[in-house]
Amino acid sequence: QVQLVQSGAEVKRPGSSVKVSCKASGGTFSSVSWVRQAAGQGLEWMGGVYPIFGSTTYAQHFRGRVTITADESTTTAYMELSSLTSADTAMYYCATAPRLPPDTWFDAWGQGTLVTVSS
Amino acid sequence: DIQMTQSPSSLSASEGDRVTITCRASQSISTYLNWYQQKPGKAPKLLIYDASRLQSGVPSRFSGSGSGTDFTLTISGLQPEDFATYYCQQTYSLVGFGQGTKLEIK
């Protein structure tokens, strides 16, 4: 079973960017997605990276503002979100899937990284 | 985008009860439907994948069914640790989650 360890909490100013990392160990690194959750709200998929294909997909809501990358040599994925506003204050999770879409599911999750956007 | 609608949004039940949560997709998604459980302050946990397949280590009181646009998650014999929020997820077209169902103790 893959284990995912994310980087620590971040406090950012409005208009800036944040980059969160997700280190995988103990398994394959075929697909990593990022999901965010604002306080008291539901889960929102942001996008995913598929290192085996060198490709990424993004949710429409985040296109142009999020960049998801992966370094296979270090089995680490990254999510960078730019032009931050207070609406981006949330817990950000990475998750891996054992198979590629569409027949896929998130069977391992990171512990979450809290990003706070405040002036 | 495919919209996922869960019902009810919240549910009160007692230990030992059988509960059913419904998830409806705005278009057919075959069986590309997964269910997750989330407890406060924790990451989601996979319960069911491919609409009806039980994830390893998940108790057999959890079951899923459905295909196309209508899906259900059933918990037979609620245990104290089952009180949590449940989400459905489609992976047919990109990825989308339902809004969640909060299961509370009656």
pLDDT tens column, A69-114 = 999 999 999 999 999 999 999 999 999 998 888 989 999 999 999 9
The alpha carbon torsion through B91, B5, B65, A112 (nearest 10 deg) reads 50
Higher pLDDT, A39 or A52: A39
What is the model's pLDDT at position A30?
83
Q: Is A39 on the interface with B (CB under 8 A)?
A: no
Distances (CA, A) of A95 to A4, A67, A119, B81, B103: 8, 16, 30, 23, 24
Q: Is B81 on the interface with A (CB under 8 A)?
A: no
Please give the structure tokens belonging to residue B16.
Answer: 């030992």
Please give the structure tokens belonging to residue B12.
Answer: 């009160």
What is the model's pLDDT at position A55?
93
Closest residue in B to A114 (Cα–Cα): B41
> Is a pLDDT exceeding 90 seen at residue B92?
yes
How far is B102 from chain A, CA to nearest CA, in Å? 11
